[in-house]
């Protein structure tokens, strides 16, 4: 996989160089440019169109939050991590409204910075993979991407790889189907792959909540059909 392309926008050249060295210590990243003023920031963003910007707020000739808005209006695929001395609550609020991935307050702690880069790479890699492999996503996909865990009180312990929300969706689809349904059809209805749907279906079979039969198609190929338990 190609490295994540980073453009650093920071008016202090010394700090920009420190940030560059920090980034290049993390596998999977490449710094493609450094901009120190408004003209360079706009030009390099337009020409390079990086994957992510490391953006300050305070510049002699521009405001980083205004630049954030400019980027959002023109480049929907560019992510932004703010690295700034701005401690005003309003600055943070504007940055969050602008959809920044993270907001890091100077002086930068190396471990905190690296943690952000690791989390961003996980997010970036997942999104790149999902764009190629998925047409639909489930709630558990969103929760995983955003680092959230969802649980229901008194929810029984489930095996690894079985999420309660998806399990409920699979069971609901089977119960609504009178004639039985295949894993492929279940996956299509809930927005997952056939393999994922089958994993949930087989778990429901193992717990006795769903029945499974084998039927043979027109060419004799066996197919597993799942039915609700009467």
Q: What is the pLDDT of residues 34-87, one digit of tens each?
A: 999 999 999 999 999 999 999 999 999 999 999 999 999 999 999 999 999 999
- Tell me the per-residue pLDDT of 137-177, one tens digit each, with 9 for 90 and over: 777 778 777 766 555 444 567 888 888 889 989 999 999 88
- Tell me the per-residue pLDDT of 95-112, one tens digit each, with 9 for 90 and over: 999 999 999 999 999 999
Q: How far apart are CA 91 and CA 178, in angstroms?
A: 56
Q: How far apart are CA 120 and CA 42, in angstroms?
A: 23
pLDDT at 217 over 70: no
- DSSP H helices, 98-214, are 110-133, 139-145, 164-176, 183-190, 194-206
Q: How far apart are CA 226 and CA 169, in angstroms?
A: 14
Give the predicted TM-score (pTM) of the model.
0.66
- Per-residue pLDDT at 134: 77
Position of tokens 């905190």?
A: 112
Q: From residue 115, give the alpha-carbon distance in Å to each of 5, 7, 23.
A: 17, 18, 11
């Amino acid at each position: 996989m190609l490295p994540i392309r980073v453009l650093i926008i920071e008016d202090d050249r010394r700090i920009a160089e420190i940030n560059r060295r920090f980034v290049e210590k993390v596998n999977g990243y490449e710094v493609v440019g450094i901009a120190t003023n408004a003209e360079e920031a706009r030009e390099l963003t337009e020409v390079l169109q990086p994957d992510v910007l490391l953006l300050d707020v305070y510049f002699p000739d521009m405001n980083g939050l205004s630049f954030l808005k400019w980027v959002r209006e023109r480049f929907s695929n560019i992510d932004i991590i703010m690295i700034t001395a701005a401690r005003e609550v309003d600055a943070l609020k504007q940055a969050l409204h602008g959809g920044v991935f993270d907001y890091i307050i100077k002086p930068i702690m190396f471990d905190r910075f690296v943690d952000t880069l690791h989390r961003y790479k996980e997010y970036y890699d997942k999104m790149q993979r999902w764009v190629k492999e998925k047409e639909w996503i489930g709630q558990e996909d969103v929760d995983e991407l955003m680092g959230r865990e969802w649980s229901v009180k008194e929810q029984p312990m489930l095996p690894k790889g079985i999420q309660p929300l998806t399990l409920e969706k699979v069971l609901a689809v089977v119960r609504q189907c009178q004639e039985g349904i295949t894993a492929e059809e279940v996956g299509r209805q809930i927005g997952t792959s056939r393999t994922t749907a089958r994993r949930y279906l087989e778990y429901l079979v193992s717990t006795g909540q769903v029945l499974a039969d084998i039927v043979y198609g027109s060419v004799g190929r066996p197919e597993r059909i799942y039915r609700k338990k009467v």
